[in-house]
C-alpha cells in the first residue's frame, strides 16, 4: 500500500515535470502567462472609479438671481464658495448659460453633463429668512455621472450652508466663538478610521481577488484543457497504456497546473506591491497556504469537467460558461454587498467568494487563521466533496 | 472456423464493442500465435482501430473477452500493459520534448531504471538511425522520423506483442519501405508478435503471416495471404482489365447489367476493371462490348490480389473509387471510406 502510494507520487511528479518542460519551452505561451496578470491588474485597477476619479465634469451655470433691495449677496457668496472649492478639487468645468432651455439642449447635444440653476428669488429667500433653493439639472442617460455629480454638488452646498449658518449663529450670539458656533450648527462630526492604518486603494481590494481567481481558474480551466488536448493529439494513450495508476495522470497534471497558477499568483503579488502600491499586512505564508487550499477546492470541479469534455473545444466552452459568472459573482471586482439579494445568494455557494474573501482579509487587514476559520472550513469541505465525486467519475471516463 | 488454441498469445472471443447504436466490433473471435505477424485488413471504419484499442486496454469491450499472454485485458489490464507496445494512428510524443526526453518520460512510466533505460534509449535510437537527433525537439522532425520515434517508443518496454495501427499511413514511399523492413526485422530477430492493421492490401500481403479481413465490424475471412488468393482463383472468378478506345458511361452500364458481372470500375478514361464469375463470363463480356460497338484495344486477365479477395468477399472494393453497381456519376465522394458512408467511422 505504502509502496503503491510512492509509485503513484513519483509517476505524478514525472508527468508534472513533463508538463512544466512543455510549458517553459513554449515561449509565446510563457510571455502570455506573465502578461495576462499585468493586463488584468492594470485594466481592472484603472478603469473602475475611485474616490477622486470624477473630474472635469462640464456643467453650465445659470444665474437668474434678481436680488433683494438691489443686493445679490446670496448668489455672490454661493459663487465665491463654489469657485473656491472647485479650484481645489478641479471637479467641475463651469461655463455660463443664459436660459434653462439652452442648458437642456446642450445636455442633449452632449456638450455638457449637467447644470446648476440659481433661481431669481435666491437672495430674496435667504435675506427674508427662508431656505434658498438651488436646482441641479442632470443628464438622465448617464445615471452614474449624474449621481456622482449630484452627491458632489450636494456636499458643496452642504458645506456652504454650514458656513452661512455658522456666521448667523455668531451674529445672534456674539459671545460664541467659531468652534462653538459650528458645534451648534453641526453637532456631529464624522471621522473614518480603517482597521489597519494607512491609505488603501481599489488595488488593495482587487489584488487578493485577482490572485485567488487566477490561481484557482488556472487549475479549473487548465486541467480540462491540458487533458483534452492530450486526448485529442493522442499522447494521452501513451500514458494510458503504461502500467500506472490512472490517478497519477490527474495528480501530475494538477501539480503542473498548480505550479503554473502559483507562478501567476506570485507575478500578481509582485506587481501589486511594486507597481500598484499594495501593502501585504498578513503573513505571506498564509497567503500561499490559502492559494493552495483554493486550488484544492477547485481540483475536483476541474476533474469532473475533464471527464465530461470530449475534446478541447467542448472543454473551453464549458470553462467560459462557468468562468464568467464566477468572476463577477465572487466579489473579485465588485463587493458582493452591492449585488441584489438573489445574486448574493448565488455568490455564497461559489468557493471563489470564500477564497477571495479570506485572501483579502489576510492581505489587506492582516488577519490570521482564527479570523478566517469560516472561509477555511468552506473551502476544505467543498474540496473534499468535489474530490470524492471526481475520482470515480474520472476513472470511469478514462476507460470508455 | 477460428478456433482458439493454447499457442495463441492473443486470444479474442466473441468480442463486441458498441458505441450507442453503432456496433463497431461485432462478435469477433480470432487468435494470434506467438511470433506471428497478423494483419487486420479492412477499409476505414471497419472496426480495426477499435479492436486494437480494446486489446491494448484503452477501451473496454461491450461483450466478450480478450486475453494477451493469458491476461484478461479488462481484469488484469496492468499485467497486459507490461506485455504490449502500441503504435497508434496518432503519434504518441510531445513536440516540445527532445527525442531522448520523450523516450525517457515514457520509459520511466514503465518503471524502468536509470541505467537500463539509458541503454535502451541508445539502442533504439541507433536502431532507427536517429542517434544524432536525440537532443532535438521532436516537433522539428519530419513525418517519417516522427513515425520512427512513434514506433521505438512502443518498443521501450521490450513488448512481446506489438500493436501497429496503420503504421505507414501518410508516409512517403521510402519511409514506408523502411518501416516495413523494421517491423519484419523486429519480428524475425526478437520474435515479437505483431498485430498490424492496414487498409493497404499490398502491405498486408508483404508483411503478414495471417490475414483477417474485417468489414462492418465482422471478420469475414481469416487465412494466409496465399490461401486467400487461391480460394478465389479456384472459385471460378474472372478478373480482367480492358482498354477500350471509346469507353462511354453507356458501355459501362451495359457491362454492369450483365448477369455474370459482379462489379465494374473505371480505372481511367479508357480502362475498366471487371470482376465476373461463372462459366462463359469472359465470352459474354466481350460479346456485350462488341455488340455496343466498343473498340477493344487491349485486354488483360489478372492474377487475383488481396484486393480482389476483399472485393470477392464483400462485393466492394477497398479503395474509394469502388462502385457497387451504381452509376458512376452518382457515386458518393463524401465520407471517409467506401461503400455505405453513412455508417461513419467506427471509433
Among residues 205-244 of chain B, which lie with CB inside 8 Å of chain A? none
Mean predicted confidence (pLDDT) in A113-128: 85
Q: Does B22 touch chain A (CB under 8 A)?
A: no
Q: How far away is chain A from the Cα of B262, in angstroms, using its nearest Cα? A: 40
Q: What is the pLDDT of residue B269?
A: 82
Q: Does B137 touch chain A (CB under 8 A)?
A: yes
| Cell numbers that stand for B206 in this block | 508483404
Which helix (H) or strand (E) segment holds residue A84: the answer is helix A73-89
Q: Do A22 and B82 count as a contact with CB atoms less than 8 A apart?
A: no
Q: How far away is chain A from the Cα of B86, in angstroms, using its nearest Cα? A: 8
Q: Do B96 and A25 count as a contact with CB atoms less than 8 A apart?
A: yes
Q: Do B58 and A26 count as a contact with CB atoms less than 8 A apart?
A: no
For residues A58 and A113, what is the distance between their CA atoms, to the nearest angstrom? 6
Q: What is the pLDDT of residue B316?
A: 64
Q: Does B84 touch chain A (CB under 8 A)?
A: yes
| Cell numbers that stand for A258 in this block | 498548480
Question: Residue A52 — pLDDT band, cuts 50, 70, 90?
Answer: low
Chain A CB contacts of B79 below 8 Å: 243
Name the residue of chain A whose CA is nearest to B95's CA. Answer: A22
Question: Residue B113 — pLDDT band, cuts 50, 70, 90?
Answer: very high
A230-250 confidence digits (pLDDT tens): 988 989 999 999 999 888 998
Q: What is the pLDDT of residue A1?
A: 60
Q: Is the pTM of this model over 0.90?
A: no
Burial of B196 (0-12, 13-18, 19+ CB in 10 A): buried
Mean predicted confidence (pLDDT) in B27-33: 92
Residue B59 is nearest to which of A7, A233, A400, comparing CB atoms?
A: A400
Chain A CB contacts of B110 below 8 Å: 242-243
Cα separations (Å) of B335 from A311, B157, B342?
21, 38, 8
Q: Domains for chain A: give ranges and CATH numbers.
A: 2-49+201-398 (no CATH), 57-185 (3.40.1710)
Q: B347 vs A213, which has greater pLDDT?
A: A213
A160-173 confidence digits (pLDDT tens): 788 778 888 888 88
Q: Does B21 touch chain A (CB under 8 A)?
A: no
Q: Does B93 touch chain A (CB under 8 A)?
A: yes
Among A111-120, A142-151, A368-377, name the one with the lowest average pLDDT: A142-151
Mean predicted confidence (pLDDT) in A298-312: 81
| Sign, Cα dihedral of A242, A246, A249, A255 | negative
- Does the pLDDT of residue A305 top 70, yes or no? yes
Work out the percent of chain A whose per-residue pLDDT is above 90.
Answer: 10
For residues A121 and B305, what is the distance between their CA atoms, to the nearest angstrom? 111
Q: Does B297 touch chain A (CB under 8 A)?
A: no
* Domain ranges within chain B, ordered by starting residue: 8-223, 230-343
- Does the pLDDT of residue B328 top 50, yes or no? no
Chain B CB contacts of A18 below 8 Å: 94, 97, 101, 105
Chain B CB contacts of A244 below 8 Å: 109
Contact B65, B28 (CB under 8 A): no
Mean predicted confidence (pLDDT) in B284-292: 85
Q: How far away is chain B from the Cα of A223, in angstroms, using its nearest Cα? A: 17
Mean predicted confidence (pLDDT) in B192-202: 89
Q: What is the pLDDT of residue A376?
A: 92
Q: Do B96 and A22 count as a contact with CB atoms less than 8 A apart?
A: yes
| Cell numbers that stand for A301 in this block | 470541479
Q: Does B204 touch chain A (CB under 8 A)?
A: no
Q: Does B156 touch chain A (CB under 8 A)?
A: no
Are domains B8-223 and B230-343 of this chain identical in fold? no
Q: Does B109 touch chain A (CB under 8 A)?
A: yes
Q: How far away is chain B from the Cα of A108, in angstroms, using its nearest Cα? A: 60
Distance from the first to the final alpha carbon of chain A: 27
Question: Which residues, listed in sequence order, are joined to residue B203 by a DSSP beta bridge?
Answer: none
Q: How far away is chain A from the Cα of B227, in angstroms, using its nearest Cα? A: 35
- Does the pLDDT of residue B274 top 60, yes or no? yes
B253-265 confidence digits (pLDDT tens): 888 888 888 788 8
Mean predicted confidence (pLDDT) in A377-384: 92
- Return the residue in A239, A242, A244, A248 with the most chain B beta carbons within 10 A, the one to mutate for interface testing: A242
Q: Where are the beta strands (DSSP E) in B71-201?
A: 71-72, 84-87, 161-165, 193-198
Which helix (H) or strand (E) segment holds residue A43: the answer is helix A27-47
Mean predicted confidence (pLDDT) in B201-209: 86
Contact A400, B60 (CB under 8 A): yes
Does domain B230-343 correspond to CATH entry 1.10.8.10? no
Q: What is the pLDDT of residue B5?
A: 52
Mean predicted confidence (pLDDT) in B273-286: 80
Residue A241 is nearest to which of B60, B84, B111, comparing CB atoms?
A: B84
Mean predicted confidence (pLDDT) in A323-343: 83
Tell me phi and psi for residue B103, to 5 degrees: -65, -40
- Does the pLDDT of residue B138 top 80, yes or no? yes
Mean pLDDT of chain B: 83
Question: Residue A51 — pLDDT band, cuts 50, 70, 90?
Answer: low
Residue A239 is nearest to which of B78, B90, B109, comparing CB atoms?
A: B109
For residues B246 and B294, what is the distance between their CA atoms, to the nearest angstrom? 6
B226-270 confidence digits (pLDDT tens): 888 777 766 667 788 888 888 888 888 888 888 888 788 888 888
B292-324 confidence digits (pLDDT tens): 888 888 888 777 777 778 777 776 655 443 333
Q: What is the pLDDT of residue B340?
A: 38
Name the residue of chain B whose CA is nearest to A240's CA. Answer: B58
Interface contacts A/B by beta carbons within 8 Å: 67
Which helix (H) or strand (E) segment holds residue A387: the answer is helix A373-398
Q: What is the pLDDT of residue B6?
A: 57
Name the residue of chain A whose CA is nearest to B50's CA. Answer: A400
Q: What is the pLDDT of residue A116?
A: 87
Q: Into which CATH architecture does domain B8-223 fall?
A: 3-Layer(aba) Sandwich (3.40)
Question: Residue B92 — pLDDT band, cuts 50, 70, 90?
Answer: very high
Q: What is the pLDDT of residue A235?
A: 92
Contact B153, B102 (CB under 8 A): yes
B11-28 confidence digits (pLDDT tens): 999 999 998 889 999 999
Q: Do A14 and B109 count as a contact with CB atoms less than 8 A apart?
A: yes
Mean predicted confidence (pLDDT) in A323-336: 82
Q: What is the pLDDT of residue B342?
A: 37
A182-217 confidence digits (pLDDT tens): 888 888 888 877 777 766 777 788 888 888 888 888
Q: Do A21 and B93 count as a contact with CB atoms less than 8 A apart?
A: no
Q: How many CB atoms lie within 10 A of CB B284?
A: 17
Residues near A142 by beta carbon (within 8 Å), at least 6 away in sequence: A113
Q: What is the pLDDT of residue B104?
A: 95
Mean predicted confidence (pLDDT) in B30-41: 92
Cell 443686493 maps to which residue?
Answer: A71
Q: B331 vs B206, which has greater pLDDT?
A: B206
Question: Residue B161 — pLDDT band, cuts 50, 70, 90?
Answer: very high
- Return the residue in A10, A227, A241 with the most chain B beta carbons within 10 A, the one to mutate for interface testing: A241
Cell 469472359 maps to which residue?
Answer: B282
Which helix (H) or strand (E) segment holds residue B256: the answer is helix B249-257
Work out the percent of chain B whose per-residue pLDDT is above 90.
Answer: 39
Contact B23, B16 (CB under 8 A): yes
Amino acid at each position: 500500500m505504502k509502496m503503491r502510494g510512492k509509485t503513484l507520487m513519483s509517476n505524478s511528479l514525472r508527468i508534472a515535470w513533463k508538463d512544466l518542460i512543455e510549458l517553459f519551452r513554449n515561449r509565446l505561451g510563457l510571455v502570455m502567462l506573465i502578461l495576462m496578470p499585468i493586463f488584468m491588474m492594470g485594466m481592472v485597477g484603472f478603469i473602475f472609479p475611485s474616490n477622486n476619479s470624477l473630474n472635469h465634469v462640464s456643467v453650465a451655470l445659470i444665474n437668474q438671481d434678481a436680488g433683494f433691495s438691489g443686493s445679490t449677496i446670496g448668489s455672490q457668496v454661493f459663487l465665491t464658495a463654489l469657485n473656491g472649492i472647485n479650484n481645489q478639487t478641479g471637479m467641475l468645468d463651469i461655463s455660463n448659460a443664459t436660459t434653462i432651455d439652452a442648458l437642456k439642449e446642450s445636455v442633449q447635444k452632449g456638450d455638457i453633463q449637467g447644470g446648476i440653476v440659481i433661481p431669481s428669488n435666491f437672495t430674496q429667500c435667504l435675506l427674508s429668512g427662508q431656505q434658498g433653493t438651488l436646482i441641479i439639472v442632470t443628464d438622465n442617460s448617464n445615471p452614474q455621472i449624474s449621481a456622482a455629480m449630484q452627491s458632489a454638488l450636494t456636499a458643496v452646498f452642504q458645506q456652504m450652508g454650514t458656513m452661512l449658518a455658522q456666521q448667523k449663529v455668531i451674529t445672534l450670539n456674539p459671545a460664541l466663538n467659531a468652534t462653538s458656533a459650528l458645534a451648534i450648527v453641526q453637532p456631529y462630526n464624522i471621522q473614518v478610521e480603517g482597521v489597519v492604518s494607512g491609505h488603501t486603494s481599489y488595488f488593495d481590494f482587487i489584488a487578493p481577488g485577482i490572485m485567488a481567481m487566477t490561481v484557482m481558474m488556472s487549475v479549473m480551466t487548465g486541467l480540462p484543457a491540458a487533458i483534452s488536448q492530450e486526448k485529442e493529439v493522442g499522447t494521452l494513450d501513451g500514458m494510458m497504456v503504461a502500467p500506472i495508476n490512472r490517478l497519477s495522470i490527474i495528480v501530475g497534471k494538477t501539480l503542473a497546473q498548480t505550479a503554473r497558477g502559483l507562478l501567476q499568483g506570485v507575478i500578481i503579488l509582485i506587481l501589486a506591491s511594486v507597481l500598484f502600491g499594495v501593502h501585504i499586512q498578513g503573513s505571506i505564508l498564509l497567503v500561499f497556504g490559502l492559494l493552495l487550499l483554493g486550488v484544492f477546492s477547485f481540483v475536483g470541479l476541474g476533474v469532473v469537467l475533464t471527464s465530461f469534455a470530449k475534446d478541447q473545444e467542448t472543454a473551453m466552452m464549458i470553462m467560459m460558461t462557468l468562468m464568467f459568472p464566477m468572476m463577477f459573482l465572487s466579489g473579485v471586482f465588485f463587493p458582493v454587498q452591492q449585488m441584489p439579494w438573489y445574486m448574493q445568494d448565488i455568490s455564497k455557494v461559489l468557493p471563489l467568494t470564500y477564497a477571495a474573501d479570506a485572501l483579502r482579509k489576510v492581505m489587506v487587514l492582516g488577519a490570521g487563521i482564527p479570523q478566517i476559520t469560516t472561509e477555511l472550513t468552506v473551502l476544505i469541505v467543498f474540496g473534499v466533496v468535489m474530490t470524492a465525486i471526481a475520482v470515480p467519475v474520472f476513472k470511469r471516463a478514462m476507460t470508455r | 472456423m477460428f478456433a482458439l488454441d493454447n499457442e495463441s498469445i492473443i486470444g479474442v472471443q466473441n468480442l463486441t464493442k458498441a458505441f450507442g447504436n453503432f456496433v463497431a466490433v461485432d462478435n469477433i473471435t480470432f487468435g494470434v500465435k506467438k511470433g506471428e505477424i497478423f494483419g487486420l485488413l479492412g477499409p476505414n471504419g471497419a472496426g480495426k482501430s477499435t479492436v486494437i484499442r480494446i486489446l491494448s486496454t484503452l477501451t473496454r469491450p461491450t461483450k466478450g473477452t480478450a486475453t494477451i499472454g493469458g491476461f484478461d485485458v479488462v481484469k488484469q489490464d496492468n499485467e497486459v500493459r507490461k506485455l504490449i507496445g502500441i503504435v497508434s494512428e496518432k503519434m504518441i510524443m510531445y513536440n516540445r520534448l527532445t527525442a531522448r526526453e520523450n523516450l525517457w518520460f515514457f520509459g520511466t512510466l514503465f518503471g524502468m531504471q536509470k541505467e537500463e533505460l539509458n541503454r535502451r534509449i541508445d539502442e533504439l535510437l541507433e536502431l532507427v538511425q536517429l542517434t544524432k537527433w536525440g537532443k532535438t525537439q521532436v516537433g522539428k522532425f519530419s513525418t517519417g522520423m516522427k513515425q520512427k520515434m512513434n514506433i521505438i517508443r512502443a518498443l521501450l518496454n521490450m513488448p512481446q506483442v506489438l500493436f501497429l495501427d496503420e503504421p505507414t499511413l501518410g508516409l512517403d514511399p521510402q519511409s514506408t519501405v523502411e518501416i516495413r523492413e523494421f517491423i519484419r526485422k523486429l519480428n524475425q530477430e526478437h520474435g515479437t508478435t505483431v498485430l498490424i492493421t492496414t487498409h493497404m492490401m499490398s502491405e498486408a500481403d508483404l508483411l503478414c503471416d495471417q490475414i483477417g479481413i474485417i468489414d462492418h465490424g465482422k471478420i469475414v475471412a481469416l487465412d494466409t495471404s496465399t490461401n486467400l488468393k487461391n480460394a478465389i482463383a479456384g472459385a471460378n472468378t474472372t478478373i480482367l482489365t480492358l482498354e477500350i478506345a471509346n469507353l462511354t458511361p453507356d458501355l459501362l452500364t451495359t457491362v454492369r447489367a450483365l448477369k455474370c458481372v459482379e462489379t465494374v470500375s473505371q480505372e481511367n478514361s479508357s480502362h475498366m476493371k471487371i470482376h465476373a464469375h461463372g462459366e462463359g463470363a469472359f465470352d459474354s463480356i466481350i460479346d456485350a462490348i462488341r455488340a455496343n460497338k466498343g473498340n477493344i484495344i487491349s485486354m488483360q486477365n489478372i492474377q487475383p490480389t488481396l484486393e480482389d479477395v476483399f472485393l470477392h468477399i464483400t462485393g466492394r472494393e477497398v479503395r474509394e473509387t469502388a462502385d457497387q453497381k451504381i452509376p458512376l456519376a452518382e457515386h458518393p465522394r463524401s465520407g471517409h471510406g467506401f461503400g455505405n458512408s453513412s455508417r461513419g467511422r467506427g471509433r
